[in-house]
Chain A
Amino acid sequence: MATYLEFIQQNEEQDGVRFSWNVWPSSRLEATRMVVPLACLLTPLKERPDLPPVQYEPVLCSRPTCKAVLNPLCQVDYRAKLWACNFCFQRNQFPPAYAGISEVNQPAELMPQFSTIEYIVQRGPQTPLIFLYVVDTCLEEEDLQALKESLQMSLSLLPPDALVGLITFGRMVQVHELSCEGISKSYVFRGTKDLTAKQIQDMLGLTKPAMSAQQARSVQPQGQPFISSRFLQPVHKIDMNLTDLLGELQRDPWPVTQGKRPLRSTGVALSIAVGLLEGTFPNTGARIMLFTGGPPTQGPGMVVGDELKVPIRSWHDIEKDNARFMKKATKHYEMLANRTATNGHCIDIYACALDQTGLLEMKCCANLTGGHMVMGDSFNTSLFKQTFQRVFSRDFNGDFRMAFGATLDVKTSRELKISGAIGPCISLNVKGPCVSENEYGISGTSQWKICSLDPTSTLAIYFEVVNQHNAPIPQGGRGAIQFVTQYQHSSTQRRIRVTTVARNWADAQNQLQHIEAAFDQEAAAVLMARLGVFRAESEEGPDVLRWLDRQLIRLCQKFGQYNKEDPNSFRLSDSFSLYPQFMFHLRRSPFLQVFNNSPDESSYYRHHFARQDLTQSLIMIQPILYSYSFHGPPEPVLLDSSSILADRILLMDTFFQIVIYLGETIAQWRKAGYQDMPEYENFKHLLQAPLDDAQDILQTRFPMPRYINTEHGGSQARFLLSKVNPSQTHNNLYAWGQESGAPILTDDVSLQVFMDHLKKLAVSSAS
C-alpha cells in the first residue's frame, strides 16, 4: 500500500488533486455501493514553483460541446499533425504554430510531467487590482487607531498601480473621493436606506461622465475606467492623501446613548461598495474589504436592534425561530454576494469584536465570492494585525497569493458525470452532457466561478460514475478528468491552468481489493465532512449526524471484515482504519456541533472548513497533539485525555487555536523558576521548544490562529480538554485517580464507546 500512499502524495503535489478513490469502480451500481462518493479535493492554484507557465494559448478540442484542452493523455498523430481528444474522441488538427512537432519535439502540454500546465494568455485589457476598504467607524478609540494603522500599513504592501478606495460607515456611509487636493470630499449616504445599484451609481455621479468638475477637467479621452477615478485611485498617486485621510478618520460622531448600540450601517455600506465596483469595474479583480467591529444595527442587513438589552441572536433563538432580523438580513447579504460574484469581485470580512458581529448573516458574502473571513476580539490584537498583513503576502515569485475572477471548468470522460462542488464558488449554470442529475453541493453545472482564490483554496468536487454495469470498459481504459481554471493572476495577467488526471477503472465485483487499496481515507473523510457541513447549513444538526453515522456504518459493512452479529470479529483494512476516528472527531467538531458556539463562530468555522486544503481540513477535524517531555524527543500523541500527563508539555493545533499546555509538574517547575537557573537550562529548552514549534505554525497559517498559553488547572485549558477524546471521565471509575492522564468532566461518549457501537451496528444484520 505504500505505493498508493506515494502515488496519492505525488499526485497531490503535482496536480493538487486528491481523490477519495484512486481506482474507480467501473459501473454506476457498484459505485453507489462504495458509500463514499467518487470525489476529489482540488486545489486549483496549488503552488508549483517547478512549473513555469507557458506563454501561449492552449489548444482546444474543436467540438463545441467539449473544448477540452490538449493534454498528455491525448493520442497524437505526429505525421498527420492530428490529435484525438481523450474526452470526446474528436480528432483535431494542430494549429499552424505546431507544424514543427514530432515525437522528439513535443510541446510542453504533451509531456506527462505537465499533467498540470499553466498558460499565460493575452486577452482583454489589463486592469490593475482593486482594493476597496469598507471601514466601520463605530469602534473604540483604541481599536480604531489600531485599524487605521493596519490600513495605513497595508498601503505599502499593495502593488503601486493597484487602485484603492475607501468607504467608511457608522450611522452614515461615506464614500471618500481620493483624487482631490485641498478639501477632502466624500459622498454620504443614509445608513438606513436600501439603494439599488443604479441609484448608487447615479448618486455617486458614475453614470454621466460629464457630471463632475473633475471629470470635466480631465477631458475624456482616457475613457471609461476613469469615470471612477474619483473613488478608486492608484496607490502610488494618493498614498499620502489616503494615509492622511485615514489618519484623520474619526470615530462615528453621532452620540450613542446609554444602553444603546452604536448605529452601524454595514448593510448599506456593503451595498454601496458593491454598487460602486459594479458600475465601474465589472469583471475585474477587486476585493471589497469590510472591517467591522460590531453587528449591523440599522438599515437593510441589520442583525440586531440598537437596544443593548436585547441581545444578539443565539442558536437557541434561531431554533426557537426567535431571531427577528436573521432572515431578512441573510437575504440582503445573499443578494449582495450574488451580485458581487456575478461581477467577479470578492468580499472579505474582518470582524473584530468581543460579541458577535453578524457573521452568520454575512457569511455568504465571503463564502460565495471566495473572500476571507476573519474573526477576532479586537483590531488591536496581533491576531488581526498579522492575519491582515498575511492577506498581502507574496509567493516565491514575489506575486500576491491571490487570484481573481476564476472560472473552473471540469470535463470528464464519458463514464463520469459531475455531481457538484463544495467550496468558495458559485455556479455558472453551465449545463452540459457531463452534468449529473445526482446533486451534491453546488450542482447542476460543470463550471463554477471562484471570484477570489489563493494557493490553498480547495474545492471538493463530486462525480458520479454513469457507466452501466453491462457496458464494460475495455481493459486498460482509464477515466479522465480535466480541470481548466481561467483566472486573473495577481500580476493582472490572465492565466489558464489546466490539470488533466486519469485513474484506472476496476470492476468492483472481482477487483474490489484494488479499489479498496486505492481508498484515500483522509480525502474521503474531508469530502464526507464537507458534505456533512454543507448539509448542516440547511438542515437540523441531528439529521446530519444521523446521516453521517449511517454512511459510516454502511462503509464499515461494505469494507469491514467480520462475522455477522459478532462485533469482536470486526476488522478494517489499513486503508480504512483511521476513517471511523475521523468521523468520531468530526461529530464532536464545531462544524457540526453548535453547542457552546455562537452562530457567528459556527459560520466562521464552517467558512474555513469549506475552503482549506486537505491537511488543514484534517487538522480541523482531528486536531494534532504533540508532546514535549524529558522522556524523549517531541512526538505526536493521541488526542486523548490519557495524553494529558503532569510531566508533559502539550502543543495542540486545532487550526483555529494553538494551545500550549504545561502539565502539572512542569507548571510547578516553571513557577519555581527552574528555567532561570543555569543548571536547569535543559528545562528552559523544554519550555522553549513548543513555543518555537508554535511560531512555525503561526508563521504560515491563515488566518492566524488564536494563540493560547496555559497550564494545568488554567481556565484556558478548556480548549484542550474539550478536544481530546474523553477516554477518562468522571464516569468510568476505573480510570479515576490513576496517574495516567486527566479525567474530563463530560458525558460525551469516548472513542472507545463510539467504536464499540459502530462495530455492533456494522455486524448487525438488521441494518
Chain B
Amino acid sequence: MNVNQPAPPGVPYGQPQPGYTGYQSSYGGQPGPIIPPSPYGAYNGPMPGYQQLPPPGVPRAPPSSGTPPASTTVRGPSSQSAYGQFGQGDVQNGPSSTVQMQRAPVSQPFVPAPVAPLVNQPAAFQPYGPPPTSAQVTTQMAGMQISGPAGPPPSGLGYGLPPTSMASASGSFQGSNLYGSYPQNLAPPTSLAQAHPGAQTPQCCAPMQASSFPPSAAGGPRPPSIAGPSMPGQSFGGPPVSQSNHASSPPPQTQPPMPGPPGPPPPMHSSQPGYQLQQNGSFGPARGPQPNYGGAYSGAPNFASPPGPPQPPPPKRLDPDSIPSPIQVIEDDRNNRGSEPFVTGARGQVPPLVTTNFLVKDQGNASPRYIRCTSYNIPCTSDMAKQAQVPLAAVIKPLAKLPPEEAPPYVVDHGESGPVRCNRCKAYMCPFMQFIEGGRRFQCCFCSCVTEVPPQYFQHLDHTGKRVDFYDRPELSLGSYEFLATVDYCKNNKFPRPPAFIFMIDVSYNAVRSGLVRLLCEELKSLLDFLPREGGAEESAIRVGFVTYNKVLHFYNVKSSLAQPQMMVVSDVADMFVPLLDGFLVNVSESRTVITSLLDQIPEMFADTRETETVFAPVIQAGMEALKAAECPGKLFLFHTSLPIAEAPGKLKNRDDRKLLNTDKEKTLFQPQTGFYQSLAKECVAQGCCVDLFLFPNQYVDVATLGVVPYHTGGSIYKYACFQVESDQERFLSDLRRDVQKDVGFDAVMRVRTSTGIRATDFFGAFYMSNTTDVELAGLDGDKTVTVEFKHDDRLSEDSGALIQCALLYTSCAGQRRLRIHNLSLNCCTQLADLYRNCETDTLINYLAKLAYRGVLSSPVKTVRDALISQCAQILACYRKNCASPSSAGQLILPECMKLLPVYLNCVLKSDVLQPGVEVTTDDRAYVRQLVTSMDVAETNVFFYPRLLPLTKVPVESSAEPPAVRASEERLSKGDVYLLENGLNLFLWVGASVQQGVVQSLFSVPSFSQINSGLSALPVLENPLSKRVRDLIDSFRAQRSRYMKLIVVKQEDKLEMLFKHFLVEDKSLSGGASYVDFLCHMHKEIRQLLS
C-alpha cells in the first residue's frame, strides 16, 4: 500500500532523479517529467531487466503522478515484479506467490513486455524457494483459510480475495473491504488489508501501472532506489506481503489462499506474466494465485459483502506474508541500488538503504556515511512540517570510517590565516558559497552575508561563475573535507599536545578471581604496539599511563630510566589528585621494558587480594587530573567490576528494584543516582578526557550512573556480565583491541549550521552540551553518531533548498588540531507528497528510538510508548489524508518510503528499554539505552530488526550471503539451521529435525541431541558447510563495531527463550505485540485520527 502511494510521488521525483545527472544542471527537478523518460532509459538500461519495466512506467508516470495513490499501487506491482524475482528466491514464501497471482493480472495488463523478463527470473527462483516454502506456506495457508472462513467462505479462495483486491483496485475502497474480509475480522487487520487493496486495486492496471512506474521513478529518485527499490522491498517482505502492502489487504487475503499457490505455483508462474510475479513480490508462486485470482475475484465480492460481518469474526488474522516485509525492502534496494555508485552531486537525493552496499562519489554533498536525513525534501513551512509530523533530523557520524575504496576527506591547509569563513555566521567555505564580483567576494549560502575573499584565496571566476580552481580545492568541490586548524582554534591558544591513553584497572577480588586482571595485562603487552597513529607515522604519538585500583588507587611510574616500575598509592579518594608528573605518561617504545615488567607484576601483586570494595568516581577524577597535569587530551580505559560502595565521592548504593517497573518511578532507574557524575563529566569534557568503560559485573552495578561519564565524554561502555575468561575472553579482547586501535578525535566541538529557515534545535548522542549550539565531545570515534533535529524558524524556498553544514573541530590522535566539514543540501517542497516520497524510514526510526530512549528519563515508559505510536499514527494519517488517493477509510495506506515504519516502530516499542521482559535486568536496559543513543542508522536498523539467515538453503559453494528471512518463528523450519544477529547478539539456531549430516559437519557430533546447547563457538571443521558458516559468522562480526558472542540455541531448548526474544515479528513474552497485531493497531489509530 505504502508502496503504491510512494510510487506516485515517486513519479515526479523519479523523473527528476533519473535526471539527476542531467538534473544537476537543471535543478528544476520537476522538469523531470519531460526529461525523465530518456534519463531513465539510460539508467534503467544499465539496470537489470526489471528496471526496464519502470522506465516504461515512467512515461506513464506523468499521468500517474497525477494520481499519486494509484500510481503507488501500480508501482507496487512494477517494483514487485522486479523484486519479485528476488523475492521468490529469497522468500520461498509460498504465500506470497498467491499474492503475485493477484497482481499478476494487474501487472500483466500494464507492462506485459517488461514483465516477461521478470517472469522468467521468478521462474528460475521458484525452484529454490517454493519447495520448502510451500510446505510451510501450506500449513500457514491452512490457518489462513480458517481465518478466511471466518470471513467470507470464499476465503478459501484466498485468491479470491485478491481478486477482490482487484475489485478494490477498481474501487480501491472495495479493495479495502475485501481486505476486510481477512482483516475485516480484525478491524485493524482489515485496515491493512484495505490498504493493500488500495494499492493493489490500483486496479493496478491502469492507474496502478502508471503510478507504479512513477513510483519506480519515485523510488528512483535516487537512481538506485528507483521507485522500484522501495516497492520491491515490500514485495520481498513476503513477496505476497509486499504485494499485500501495495495492495495492502488483498495480498493478505491472497496469502491465505497460499495453499493454492504451493501446488500451482510453478505453472502459475509460467502462466502468469512476469508481471504478476513482479508485482506480487514474485510470489509469483502466483501460480496458485492465478487460480486464486479467479477465486479472488469472486471472493472480492465476498469481501465486499463480508466486510461487515467478517469484522466481527475477527478471529481471522492478517496474513503475515501480506504485510510489508523488511526483508523484501532491503533486498529490493540492494538489487536496485547496490550496483551503481551513489553520486552526491545533486541536491536532496535519497541515498540507498544502509543495508545496501554501495559506493559513494562525493561531488559536493557529504556521503550518507557521514550524514543521513529522515527526509531529503523538507517542507517549506513549519505549518506543513507540523501537519506531517515527520521529524526533520539528520544522523551525523562525523568521523565515520569509509570503505577502502573511498578516499578519506582531503586535508586543506589555508595557512596561518586559517580556514576561510563567512564573516557573520562563521560558516566554513563550502561548495555552496556563491562567489560574486569577479571572485572578490563571496555570499554565504547560510546567512547570505557577503564576505571579502582574503587576498591569498582570490581566484578568477569562469564564465559560469565558478572559480577557476574549483576542482583543485576540496572545499569548493566536495561535500566533506578537513581544514588544518590554526592556533586560534586551540584551547588556551596553544597547540595541543599528543593525547594520552590511561589504562585504569580494577584489581579487587572479583577482577582478580575472574582472571580478568591477568588476561588484560597479558593483552596490553602486545596491544600497546597498536595504538592509533596518524597517516604513515612510524610510531604512535600517544603516551600511555597505568593505574590500578580497588578502594584506593595505585599509580605507576614507568619512566624509561627506572629499572623497576614504582607504585604510588593514593588512598585519599575523597580528594583525588595525581601523585606524580614525570613518568606516569610515557612513550611505549621508550619505556617498554618497564611497562612489560609492570604488566607482569600487576597480576602477581594482587593475586591474593581480599579487597572487594571499589571506588569509581575518584578513578575518573584521577585520570582526568593526570591529563590536566600533562596538559593533553586523552582517553581513559576503565576496567571495572562492581558497584562502587567504598567510602568515596560518587559512592553508590544498590537501588535496583523491579517493583518500580511500570510505575511513574521507573524513570529513576535510568537516571543517575547522584548528580556527582554529571559534574564530573563536565570537568572531563573541559579537559578533553574521554572515558571508555569496560564493565564486568556479577550483579547490579548501576550502569545508569556509572555510564554517565562515558556517555557525556563520547566514550563507549562495554558490558560483560558474569565474565569468565574461558567463554568471554575472545569477545572482550576483540572489543578491547578494536577500542584501543580505533582512530579517535579528542577535545572535539561540533557545530551544525543551517541555511536560514531551519535551525538545529535538539541533539541526541553521547556528548556534553554547555550551551544550545555546541556539541562538546571529549572524544569521538568513527562509531559515534549524533542525531540532530531541525525545526523551522522561517519559510524555506523551493529554489534555494536547505543546507546543513556540520563542522567538527577536533584533535587528531597525533595531536593535530583539525576541522572536519560535512555539507549537505536538501530539497524543499510545498507539497506534502514530496516529503513522503523522500523519507528514509531507517533514519526516522533511529531518531524516534533515540527520542524515546531519552524520553524514559523523564516520563513513564507507557507515556513514551504512547507518544511514539501517536506520532507515527499522525505521520501516516497525514499522508493518508493529503497524499493518498481517495480510498475507503477502512483501508490502510502507507507511503512507499514508510511502509516499514509500523514494523520497525513495533520493534522499538518492544525493545528492552521500552518493554522489558522478566529476564532483562535494569543494568541491561540502561546499557542498551545508552548504546542506542549513539548508534548510527545501520546499527539501529539491525538492532531493532535482527537479521535472520537460513544456512542450509543455499548451496554451500555459493559465496553470497543467504537471503534473509523475516524475524518470526513461523519462518523457521525445523529442518534448518539459522543465524541471527542484531549487532550485539549472535545466535545459531538449530532446528530439531535438522539433517544429521548438517549436525555432523557443523558440530562434529552425530545427532541433534548431542549438540551442546549454549555452545559459544563452532568447532573448526574442514568441511564446506562448517567453513561457510564460520566465515559467515566472521563476516558478521567484522561488520559490527562490537564483537558478538555466538550462542548456539537448540530448538525446544530452554535457551530458545533467549533466542525467541529476537524474533521481533512475533508476540513477545513481555507483552509486545506481534507485527500483525501492531499493524492493526496502527491502522485503528490512523482511522481515529482521520475520522
Contact = CB atoms under 8 A, between A and B. Distances in A.
Contacts of B565: 183
Contact of B609 (A203, A216, A248, A250): A216
A172 interface: yes
Residue among B552, B564, B572, B597 having the largest count of chain A Cβ atoms under 10 Å: B572
Contacts of B583: 253
Interface stretch (B37-45, B66-74, B395-403, B600-608): B600-608
Nearest to B554: A185
A400 interface: no
Given A210-B610, A211-B611, A216-B608, A186 B571 contact: no
B581 interface: yes
B582 interface: yes
B572 A182 contact: no
A670 interface: no
B562 A188 contact: no
Nearest to B604: A182
Contact of A186 (B564, B566, B605): B566
Looking at chain B's contact residues, is the secondary structure mostly helix, strand, loop, or mixed?
loop
A193 B580 CA distance: 17
B153 interface: no
B567 A184 contact: yes
Contacts of B606: 213
Residue among B571, B575, B611 having the largest count of chain A Cβ atoms under 10 Å: B571
Nearest to A217: B608
Contact of B566 (A172, A184, A187): A184
Interface residues of B, number: 32
B359 to A, nearest CB: 53
Interface in B584-606: 597-598, 601, 604-606
Nearest to A188: B579
B572 A174 contact: no
A193 B570 contact: no
A253 B580 contact: yes
A183 B556 CA distance: 9
Interface string A171-187: 01010010000111111
Given A172-B579, A211-B611, A216-B609, A186 B569 contact: yes
Interface string A196-226: 0000001111000011010011000000000
Nearest to A175: B569
Given A187-B570, A203-B552, A193 B608 contact: no
A174 B601 CA distance: 21
Contacts of A186: 566-569
B610 A216 contact: yes
A182 B566 CA distance: 9
A213 B579 contact: no
A254 interface: yes
Contact of A213 (B580, B598, B605): B605
A172 B575 CA distance: 13
B577 interface: yes
B555 interface: yes
Interface in B546-574: 552, 554-556, 562, 564-572
Contacts of A188: 555, 568-570, 579-580
A189 interface: yes
Nearest to A186: B568
Nearest to B507: A213
A183 B566 contact: yes
A185 B567 contact: yes
Residue among B606, B607, B611 having the largest count of chain A Cβ atoms under 10 Å: B611
Given A174-B568, A253-B581, A253-B582, A183 B611 contact: no
B572 A203 contact: yes
A213 B564 contact: no
Nearest to B565: A183
A248 B565 CA distance: 12
Contacts of A28: none
Contact of A193 (B566, B575, B597, B605): B575
A189 B580 CA distance: 11
Given A193-B575, A216-B608, A253-B582, A183 B601 contact: yes
Nearest to B581: A253
Contacts of B555: 188
Contacts of B564: 182-184
Interface in A18-51: none
A492 B699 CA distance: 53
Nearest to A189: B572
A550 interface: no
A210 B605 CA distance: 15
A428 to B, nearest CB: 35
Interface string A253-264: 111000000000
A253 B579 CA distance: 10
Nearest to B580: A253
B552 A190 contact: no
Given A183-B601, A248-B562, A203 B568 contact: no
B609 to A, nearest CB: 5
Interface in B513-572: 552, 554-556, 562, 564-572
A250 B562 CA distance: 11
Contacts of B609: 213, 216
Nearest to A190: B577
Nearest to A254: B581
Interface string A358-369: 000000000000
Interface in A260-282: none
A211 B575 CA distance: 21
A216 to B, nearest CB: 5
Nearest to A205: B571
Contact of B571 (A183, A203, A217): A203
Contacts of A190: 572, 575, 577
A711 to B, nearest CB: 48
A344 B579 CA distance: 31
B427 to A, nearest CB: 41
A563 B580 CA distance: 78
A431 to B, nearest CB: 42
A208 to B, nearest CB: 10
A205 B570 CA distance: 11
A202 B597 CA distance: 29
A183 B601 CA distance: 8
A177 B569 CA distance: 10
B316 to A, nearest CB: 70
Contacts of B581: 253-255
B567 A174 contact: no
A172 B572 CA distance: 12
Contacts of A213: 605-610
Contacts of A189: 570-572
A211 B610 CA distance: 7
A177 B567 CA distance: 10
A174 B579 contact: yes
Nearest to A253: B582
Residue among A216, A250, A254, A255 having the largest count of chain B Cβ atoms under 10 Å: A250
Contacts of A253: 580-583
A762 to B, nearest CB: 64
B696 to A, nearest CB: 20
A248 B567 CA distance: 14
Contacts of B575: 190, 193
Given A182-B601, A193-B575, A248-B562, A187 B569 contact: yes
Contacts of A193: 572, 575
Contacts of A187: 568-571
B981 to A, nearest CB: 43
19 contacts: A177-B569, A182-B564, A182-B605, A183-B566, A183-B598, A184-B566, A184-B567, A185-B569, A186-B568, A187-B570, A188-B570, A188-B579, A189-B570, A202-B571, A205-B571, A210-B610, A216-B608, A253-B581, A255-B581
Given A188-B579, A211-B610, 9 more contacts: A172-B577, A182-B604, A184-B564, A185-B568, A186-B567, A188-B568, A189-B571, A205-B552, A255-B581
Give me the 5 closest cross-chain CB pairs, A-B, nearest first.
Answer: A203-B571, A188-B579, A253-B582, A185-B567, A187-B569
